[in-house]
């Protein structure tokens, strides 16, 4: 018998070799029908895999992130089975689950899959799913695995096998399909009730432009048709709110092949939004006692070796430039530069906390297949700051950063958020993480204490910390329920030592400061992408590139319209006049499409009375007001940065 510890702490005995599914059935047949996988001692397993030792067990269903991930990974295998049955000879690379669904990269040889072929593939997947084929796991030797894929002629799987050792190789099979895979998978294909293949794209093998272009098929599946219908409705709304589409329509940003992928060009409208965000950040940070700094875009290799970033992040940094025998790298993070500023002058405990802030430009070489509009770019402008403090000051400083996040959430109308506390893995100390076990425990406890005492919603995640300390990833949700990682808030106990940062204590000894890395508005790129979706392009007045459009009914009232616009501009309201020779109805419709917050319609009556007829985006006619009254109201709305 083996002892199984359940989430409520209860310990029950089961025969050795029992599976999570067996245990679920012993609790409830209804529960067993929902189990997709199991967390065994912190590792996700197949629900049908035998358990041979004492273990902690958590049953995973569709309600769990790990359950969904397993479901979608299995769906990728179902897609591969369908493709192989319709396109014999296809070769497969990888098919992982992603945030919403899955994809599989494949080499179709002389064949081709287009958008028109997706319905045919969906039909085949549905046929295969209804066969209720079991997902079976097989441990296999490296020699047998190599022989299998040599016989199949699949060089992509052979490439994956090169980095695997005997004892860590498994095959998974369902129906007529077998794949190299570490799993886990759902019990059988019958769990997959609703299928939608969403798109076809090209993807370079291993993400490198030097390699062959493979075909990537994206899809999403659900355990019920109703959930798929709801998802597709959300997807349609998301298409309308796609930041790339709105960015073009509203002249926010553009991408150009001659500039390069992942390097957005900010148009005048987008630049206005950037400047408003910077203004908000600078006001907030000045009030909180931050000092602004400016640092260069490049630095010598030696600085990144000192910081430890180069060994950890070299793959995501641009290749070095060599000048006079010295290598220089484009800046991919601001922190080492800020540490050098701290070290530039003698520091005392009286100088702490020292808060250095910069909207720094950084460059990261994201793989081509990972680039996505403003969300994954190669040039990013970060609302960065570093706080140098004593251990005694840490709680208040970390708390203040948290409160800054909450202030921003209120301004932007962000109602749903959670702090994702990323911790280290003890077994990876000295490899992935700085080898300081006591400091890891101490700083993780300190961060947790702030979150618990302030009642901030948070979840803990193992093995996702920064290499130099625990971090918080701020997860927010847009108006249509899509999740975004807004920013990070990191504790750093290693960089101070690496850079020999010191301050004189009250008793005239030398000590090293703790460092808090924080970026509450993230980057311009990602945050504006989020705002475009969240607001559907209908920015609140203070952020809108054009805040007011003055629409003369005819050319006879053009001079009056220009006078009104002049008064608005003088009061720092961004106003334009629509001087086109078009009917007023078309001017109104076009202005609505441009999502300008206010329209002021002027004709003979308005000109004679010194008034304007006011229309509000999304609310329609607000009646006639004097220019002065309208100006007073909009100036107040703008200065208060109201969310609508």
97-98 vs 101-107, strand pairing mode: antiparallel
One-letter-per-residue 3-state SS of 55-116: EEEEEECCCCHHHHHHHHHHHHHHHHHHHHHHCCCCEECCCCEECCEEEEEEECCCCCCCHH
The count of C-alpha atoms lying within 13 angstroms of the C-alpha of 607, restricted to the half-sphere facing its C-beta, is 17
The average pLDDT across 157-161 equals: 94
pLDDT of 426 reads 87
pLDDT of 313 reads 81
Residue 511 neighbours by CB distance under 10 Å: 16
| Three-state DSSP class for residue 77 | helix
pLDDT of 442 reads 86
- The candidate with the shortest Cα–Cα distance to 295, out of 232, 387, 357, is 357
pLDDT of 551 reads 97
Q: Report the alpha-carbon distance of residue 88 to residue 357 in Å, rounded.
A: 58
Q: What's 566's DSSP letter? A: H
State the first-to-last Cα distance of the chain, in angstroms, to the nearest integer: 63
What confidence category does residue 124 fall into, taking pLDDT thresholds of 50, 70 and 90? Answer: very high
Torsion of CA 454, 455, 459, 464, to 10 degrees: -10
Q: What is the pTM of this model?
A: 0.76
Whether residue 607 has pLDDT greater than 90: yes
Helices 391-412/268-287 angle, 10° precision: 140
Are 596 and 617 in contact by the 8 Å Cβ rule? The answer is yes
- Dump pLDDT digits (tens) for 414-432: 988 888 998 988 888 888 8
> Lowest mean pLDDT: which of 246-260, 349-363, 435-449, 609-623?
435-449
Q: Report the alpha-carbon distance of residue 272 to residue 357 in Å, rounded.
A: 21
Q: Report the alpha-carbon distance of residue 326 to residue 303 in Å, rounded.
A: 12
Whether residue 644 has pLDDT greater than 80: no
253-254 vs 213-222, strand pairing mode: unpaired
Whether residue 500 has pLDDT greater than 90: yes
Helices (H), ranges, 288-364:
301-307, 309-313, 335-343
Q: Report the alpha-carbon distance of residue 456 to residue 418 in Å, rounded.
A: 8
The count of C-alpha atoms lying within 13 angstroms of the C-alpha of 122, restricted to the half-sphere facing its C-beta, is 18
Q: Report the alpha-carbon distance of residue 506 to residue 109 in Å, rounded.
A: 72
What confidence category does residue 170 fall into, taking pLDDT thresholds of 50, 70 and 90? Answer: very high
| Three-state DSSP class for residue 446 | helix
Q: Report the alpha-carbon distance of residue 317 to residue 239 in Å, rounded.
A: 32
> Lowest mean pLDDT: which of 85-89, 317-321, 468-472?
468-472
Q: What's 88's DSSP letter? A: T
pLDDT of 457 reads 87
Q: What's the mean per-residue pLDDT of the chain?
A: 93
Are 217 and 113 in contact by the 8 Å Cβ rule? The answer is yes
> Lowest mean pLDDT: which of 160-169, 307-316, 593-602?
307-316
């Amino acid at each position: 018998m083996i002892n199984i510890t359940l989430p409520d702490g209860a310990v029950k005995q089961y025969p050795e070799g029992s599976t999570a599914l067996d245990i679920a059935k012993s609790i409830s047949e209804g529960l067993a029908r929902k189990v997709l996988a199991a967390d065994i001692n912190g590792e996700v397993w197949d629900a049908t895999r035998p358990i041979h030792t004492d273990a902690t067990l958590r049953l995973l269903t569709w309600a769990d992130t790990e359950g969904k991930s397993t479901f979608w990974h299995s769906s990728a295998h179902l897609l591969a089975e369908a493709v192989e049955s319709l396109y014999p000879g296809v070769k497969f690379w990888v098919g992982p689950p992603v945030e919403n669904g899955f994809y599989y990269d494949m080499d179709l040889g002389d064949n081709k899959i287009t958008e028109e072929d997706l319905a045919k593939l969906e039909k085949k997947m549905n046929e295969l799913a209804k066969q209720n084929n079991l997902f079976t796991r097989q441990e296999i030797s490296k020699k047998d695995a190599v022989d299998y894929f040599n016989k199949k002629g699949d060089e992509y799987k052979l490439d994956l096998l090169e980095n695997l050792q005997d004892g860590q190789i498994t095959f998974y099979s369902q129906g007529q399909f077998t794949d190299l895979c570490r799993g886990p998978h759902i019990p059988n294909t019958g769990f997959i009730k609703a299928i939608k293949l969403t798109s076809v794209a090209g993807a370079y093998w291993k993400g490198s432009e030097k390699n062959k272009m493979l075909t990537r098929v994206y899809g999403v599946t659900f355990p019920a048709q109703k959930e798929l219908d709801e998802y597709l409705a959300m997807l349609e709304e998301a298409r309308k709110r796609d930041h790339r589409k709105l960015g073009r329509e509203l002249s926010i940003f553009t991408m150009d092949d001659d500039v390069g992928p992942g390097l957005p060009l900010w148009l005048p409208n987008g630049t206005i939004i950037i400047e408003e965000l910077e203004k908000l950040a600078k006001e907030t940070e000045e009030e909180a006692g931050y000092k602004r700094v400016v640092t260069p875009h490049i630095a010598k290799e030696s600085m990144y070796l000192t910081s430890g970033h180069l060994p950890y992040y070299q793959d995501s940094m641009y290749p070095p430039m060599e000048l006079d025998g010295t290598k220089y790298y484009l800046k991919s993070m601001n922190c080492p530069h800020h540490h050098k500023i701290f070290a530039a002058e003698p520091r005392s405990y009286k100088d702490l906390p020292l808060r250095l802030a910069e909207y720094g430009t950084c460059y990261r070489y994201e793989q081509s297949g990972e680039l996505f509009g403003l969300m994954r770019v190669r040039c990013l402008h970060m609302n960065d700051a570093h706080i140098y403090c004593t251990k005694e000051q840490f709680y208040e400083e970390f708390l203040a950063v948290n409160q800054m996040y909450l202030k921003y959430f209120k301004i932007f109308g962000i109602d749903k958020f959670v702090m994702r506390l990323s911790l280290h893995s003890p077994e990876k100390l000295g490899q992935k993480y700085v080898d300081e076990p006591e400091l890891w425990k101490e700083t993780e406890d300190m961060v947790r204490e702030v979150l618990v005492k302030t009642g901030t919603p948070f979840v803990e995640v193992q093995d996702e910390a920064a290499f130099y300390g625990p971090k918080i990833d701020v997860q927010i949700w847009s108006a249509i329920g899509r999740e975004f990682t807004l920013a990070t808030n990191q504790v750093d106990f290693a960089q101070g030592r690496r850079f020999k940062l010191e301050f004189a204590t009250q008793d005239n000894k030398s000590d090293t400061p703790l460092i808090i890395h924080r970026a509450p508005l993230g980057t311009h790129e990602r945050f504006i992408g989020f705002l475009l979706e969240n607001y559907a392009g209908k920015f609140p007045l203070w952020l809108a590139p054009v805040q007011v459009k003055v629409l003369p009914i005819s050319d006879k009232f053009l001079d009056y319209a220009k006078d009104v616009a002049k008064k608005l501009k003088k009061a720092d309201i961004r106003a334009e006049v629509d001087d086109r020779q078009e009917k007023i109805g078309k001017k109104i419709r076009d202005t609505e499409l441009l999502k300008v917050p206010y329209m002021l319609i002027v004709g003979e009556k308005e000109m004679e009375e010194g008034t304007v007829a006011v229309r509000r985006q999304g609310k329609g006619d607000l009646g006639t007001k004097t220019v002065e009254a309208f100006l007073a109201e909009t100036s107040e709305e703008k200065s208060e940065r109201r969310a609508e």
